[in-house]
Chains A and B, each alone.
Chain A
Amino acid sequence: EVQLLESGGGLVQPGGSLRLSCAASGFTFSSYAMSWVRQAPGKGLEWVSAISGSGGSTYYADSVKGRFTISRDNSKNTLYLQMNSLRAEDTAVYYCAKDQLFQPAGDYGMDVWGQGTTVTVSS
């Protein structure tokens, strides 16, 4: 069964750091781009970051550029999101999602999603 399982969410103070993980199973992880998408409470979906299957190309939303870093370990079938300098507006459910292509061009969309992990930034 194709599955994504996020972990690492929690409560963190403004300015703090957190690392999210997403464990993949049931497919050839290195063959597909991966993304992080977040959803603030009561709000819509916001794409955060994407990474190619090899990890050689990364992309970020302007709202997180310079603060968040996406990476992957294909030997461990795991996707990561390192989040630094966290702000209240980063509070959201964070989903990892599998692209249908090797490069995150977006044309074929994200066909597998995790259940999400909640990040709360508050003092």
Chain B
Amino acid sequence: QSVLTQPPSVSEAPRQRVTISCSGSSSNIGNNAVNWYQQLPGKAPKLLIYYDDLLPSGVSDRFSGSKSGTSASLAISGLQSEDEADYYCAAWDDSLNGYVFGTGTKVTVL
């Protein structure tokens, strides 16, 4: 079982905005940066957000990340059908001395 908790699924209509929450603790999100990954069906994960709110080159600015205390969020604005995927938060955990992924959230575009 993961130490980072995400909602199993979120859905919204095209062109709308969705947010995905990621809840952790002081040993992970509270003391380390959060990264977000997108996994399209049948594909390898892709880095979407790093160091809480930075976008890798080539990632659409419709994606944004934020963090407060022991929680983080990923927002997707202007939702498109191509955004249908699984999204995972992740962070280093000082107590486990390892990297931990969130439980994952499936985004559905209605």
Which of B1-59 touch A at CB < 8 Å?
Answer: 2, 32-33, 35, 37, 39, 44-47, 49-51, 56
Q: Among A50, A100, A114, A115, point to the contact of B50 (Cβ < 8 A).
A: A100
CB-defined contacts of B102 to chain A, threshold 8 Å: 44
A-side interface size class: 20 to 34
Does A60 make an interface contact (CB < 8 A)? Answer: yes
B-side interface size class: 20 to 34
The answer to whether residues A45 and B101 also contact, given A105-B92, A106-B92, A109-B90 and a CB cut-off of 8 A, is yes
Give Cα A25 to B91, complex, Å: 26
Does B63 make an interface contact (CB < 8 A)? Answer: no
Give Cα A108 to B103, complex, Å: 20
CB-defined contacts of B90 to chain A, threshold 8 Å: 45, 47, 106, 109
Cβ-defined contact, A111 with B92, below 8 A: no
Does A89 make an interface contact (CB < 8 A)? Answer: no
Give Cα A68 to B26, complex, Å: 28
CB-defined contacts of B51 to chain A, threshold 8 Å: 107-109
CB-defined contacts of B56 to chain A, threshold 8 Å: 111
Does A29 make an interface contact (CB < 8 A)? Answer: no
Cβ-defined contact, B88 with A44, below 8 A: yes
Does A52 make an interface contact (CB < 8 A)? Answer: no
Does A35 make an interface contact (CB < 8 A)? Answer: yes
25 pairs of residues in contact across A and B, judged by CB atoms under 8 Å: A37-B101, A44-B2, A44-B102, A44-B104, A45-B39, A45-B101, A46-B101, A47-B98, A50-B98, A50-B99, A59-B97, A61-B96, A62-B96, A62-B98, A95-B45, A106-B33, A106-B35, A106-B90, A106-B91, A107-B50, A108-B50, A109-B50, A110-B37, A110-B47, A113-B45
B interface, CB within 8 angstroms of A: 2, 32-33, 35, 37, 39, 44-47, 49-51, 56, 86, 88, 90-92, 96-104
A interface, CB within 8 angstroms of B: 35, 37, 44-47, 50, 59-62, 95, 97, 100, 104-111, 113-116
